[in-house]
Chains A and B, each alone.
Chain A
């Protein structure tokens, strides 16, 4: 489903702020894989997701989604294949537009936008049914401005928007990091629900090792722009936080530096 071949990305090359964020990273994901990504600060987690999403182009290497070479495609063209949820709840939705308008925009992801009416009447019923899945009462607030919703509600809505037009790959960029623990748990629950319901191939970055272990069928750990650990199948099921810390030290020769990842 996703093939990343030896990608490199250096920010601010030739300056004192030069930062090699992706350093020959390769990753292949199968159809239906749910991969969780962990790593310390600056390990290249978000950079990896942005490289796939096309926020900028990589310096070297290739990215293929479902066999299509997207390496040179701009962000809005890759959106056809991708569902995305961001860390900041403000990023994934248009605050000054209504819930139904946001959903209607998401429903047309990857299609050309014409002079046909923006939301057809029949769509509203469909949106109501979809919003019921979230169990947040949003189905009765179709025309409310999204700016009035809480962070958790916005993330849940963004999840719905990312998945309603089934993406080839769902990208979750620490999408619960900005939420309080209770809301974060609820959004993760919704995430599982959406992924199972649509049988989605998913790549989820998390700052929380427990979540990384609990969710998905495969776990990768990044350091200095490379994958240093890749755990899957039975081994992943039996994994504990202690194992993971131990493996990290073995693989990198350092102690894990992100406290919140361990404590969280």
Chain B
């Protein structure tokens, strides 16, 4: 393939990739809340990344309004986070394991919601909010990229407000230093549950939008979602972390990170890399970025003497 044709193909695919990146960006923001704010790697998302879509598609197929379906999806996602939170705080199961348990349980739940392994919804028959078909040659207000971008800005504004409130600050303190939080009278268990609910609510919202966008839901669509979410968080920080210090901008960086992830993915596919290897490639990239702070601390800094116990 000559270079011009390559660039043209890439540009043609650009709107679709940006739209998909933005939708997954909402999921990435959800992961940011657990991973960066609560300091919990929450694996529930691999399950809730299907639950949201499953609820949304079944409600729309049953004739409900797309907005109602979207809200129901968010509530379903929050419930999944609630379950993980209770397993972790009330029953004392380690956070990672709690997430894995919920995720596995959700596989069955998702199958029951959809009644079979996959369901599809036609853009011609239903009034979808976003779709593959709406990324070009449609009025601006109908454009999926515009729609998701506005939605992300609203979500970031809401989250920025929330994490600046008394309750939001106490949630940040919970993730930063649990001992300090409890000494200041903060119920850290309740806050962890709340954080997991908000996070999974966002993941389910992303899932519901993704299902509308691609026109189908599949019981395996959430597999490995946590890795993509982490990739979005990490790529965003690596590229924009130095300039984006403000909390709202850090959330925006996650959405950018997600878009870049999908552009790189597209590029890698186009240069002919075996698509079977894509997950391996993603995992390797995330592993490298996650290990950098540790490697820096352990091998690349001189030991500093400090007053210790």
Chain A residues within an 8 Å CB radius of B172: 94, 96-97, 101
Decide if B122 is an interface residue (CB 8 Å cutoff). no
Residue in A96, A110, A119, A178 with the greatest tally of chain B CB atoms within 10 Å: A96
Interface residues of A, count at CB 8 A: 42
Query: B172 — nearest CB in chain A belongs to which residue?
Result: A97
A216 within 8 A of partner (CB): no
Choose among B167, B185, B306, B309 the residue that contacts A76 (Cβ–Cβ < 8 A).
B185
Closest to B308 in A: A178
Q: With the chains together, A113 CA to B186 CA distance in Å? A: 8
Task: Map CB proximity to A onto B232-272 as digits: 1 under 8 Å, 0 otherwise.
Answer: 00000000000000000000000000000000000000000
Chain A residues in 8 Å Cβ range of B306: 151
Residues of chain B within 8 A (CB-CB) of A118 are: 164-166, 168-169
Is B182 within 8 A of A113, CB to CB?
Answer: no
* B185 CB contacts on chain A under 8 angstroms: 76-77, 79-80, 108-111
> Pick the contact of B182 from A75, A95, A117, A119 — CB < 8 Å?
A75
Complex alpha-carbon distance, A80 and B185, angstroms? 6
- Are A161 and B169 in contact (CB-based, < 8 A)? no
Shortest C-beta distance, B176 to chain A (Å), equals 4
Interface bits B156-184 vs A (CB < 8 Å: 1, else 0): 00000010111111101100110111111
- Tell me, yes or no, whether B187 is within 8 Å of chain A by CB: yes
Q: Tell me the chain A residues, 82-109 only, with Cβ under 8 Å from chain B.
A: 82, 84, 86-88, 90-97, 101, 104-106, 108-109
Q: Indicate if A116 sits at the interface (CB-CB under 8 A).
A: yes
Verify if A254 is at the interface (C-beta below 8 Å from B): no
Do the beta carbons of A151 and B179 come within 8 Å of each other?
no
Question: Does A53 sit within 8 A of B, measured CB to CB?
Answer: yes
A91 neighbours in B (Cβ, 8 Å):
177, 179-180
Tell me the complex Cα distance, A75–B162, Å.
Answer: 25
B165 touches A115 (CB 8 A): yes
A119 proximity list for chain B (CB < 8 A) = 169
CA distance A88 to B309 in the complex (A): 8
Q: How far is it, in angstroms, between the C-alpha of A104 and the C-alpha of B165 when the chains are bound?
A: 11
Query: Are the CB atoms of B182 and A76 closer together than 8 Å?
Result: yes
A97/B164 contact (C-beta < 8 A), A79-B184, A109-B184, A110-B185 known: no
Q: How far is the CA of A150 from the CA of B251 in the complex (A)?
A: 30
A178 CA / B306 CA spacing, docked (Å)? 9
Q: Which of B30-81 contact A (CB under 8 A)?
A: none
**Cα A93 to Cα B184 with chains together (Å):** 10
| Cβ-defined partner of A113 (8 Å) among B164, B166, B180, B307 | B166
How close is B180's CB to chain A, nearest CB, in angstroms?
A: 5
Q: Flag if A94 contacts B165 (CB, 8 Å).
A: no
Query: Which residues of chain A are within 8 angstroms of B162 by Cβ–Cβ distance?
Result: 115
State whether the Cβ of B103 lies closer than 8 Å to any Cβ in chain A: no
CB contacts (< 8 Å) of A57 on chain B: these are none
Residue among B170, B185, B187 with max Cβ neighbours from chain A (10 Å):
B185
Whether A96 and B176, one on each chain, are in contact in the complex, defined by CB atoms closer than 8 angstroms, is yes
CA distance A76 to B188 in the complex (A): 8
Interface pair A87/B309, CB less than 8 Å apart? yes
**A114 contacts partner chain B, Cβ-Cβ < 8 Å:** yes
Q: Of all chain A residues, which has the CB nearest B191?
A: A113
Q: Which residues of B contact A108 (CB under 8 A)?
A: 166, 170, 184-185
In the complex, whether A241 has a CB less than 8 A from a CB of chain B is no
Would A94 and B166 count as touching, CB distance under 8 A? no
Q: How far is the CB of B307 from chain A (nearest CB, A)?
A: 5
Asked if A20 is an interface residue, CB under 8 A from chain B, the answer is: no
A116 touches B166 (CB 8 A): yes
Which residues of A42-86 are within 8 A (CB) of B? 53, 74-77, 79-80, 82, 84, 86
Residue among A80, A92, A118 with most chain B CB within 10 A: A118
- Contact of A135 with B by CB under 8 A: no
Q: Would you call A235 an interface residue if the criterion is a C-beta within 8 Å of the partner chain's C-beta atoms? A: no
User: Is A179 in contact with chain B by the CB < 8 A criterion?
Assistant: yes
Q: How far apart are the CA atoms of A118 and B164 in the complex, in Å?
A: 5
Query: How far is A144 from B165 in the complex, measured between Cα atoms in Å?
Result: 19
Give Cα A91–Cα B184 distance, bound, in whole angstroms: 12
Which residues of chain A are near B167, meaning CB under 8 Å? 113-115
Q: Is A177 an interface residue (CB 8 A)?
A: yes
B186 to A94, Cβ gap below 8 A? no
- A234: Cβ under 8 A from any B Cβ: no
Q: Are A105 and B184 in contact (CB under 8 A)?
A: yes
Instruction: Tell me if A255 counts as interface (CB < 8 A to partner B).
Output: no
- Name the residue on B nearest A75 (C-beta): B182
Interface set, chain A 111-168, CB cutoff 8 A to B: 111, 113-119, 151, 161-162
On whether the beta carbons of A151 and B307 are closer than 8 Å, the reply is: yes
Chain A residues, Cβ within 8 Å of B169: 97, 101, 104-105, 113, 118-119
User: A113-B165, A162-B183 known; 19 other A-B pairs, CB under 8 Å?
Assistant: A53-B183, A75-B183, A76-B181, A76-B185, A76-B188, A79-B185, A82-B183, A87-B309, A93-B177, A95-B176, A96-B176, A97-B173, A104-B169, A105-B169, A105-B181, A108-B170, A110-B185, A118-B165, A178-B309
13 contacts between A and B (CB under 8 A): A75-B183, A76-B188, A79-B183, A79-B184, A86-B183, A92-B179, A94-B172, A97-B173, A106-B184, A108-B170, A114-B167, A177-B309, A178-B308
- Counting from the closest, the 5 A-B pairs by CB-CB distance are A79-B185, A118-B169, A113-B166, A94-B176, A109-B185
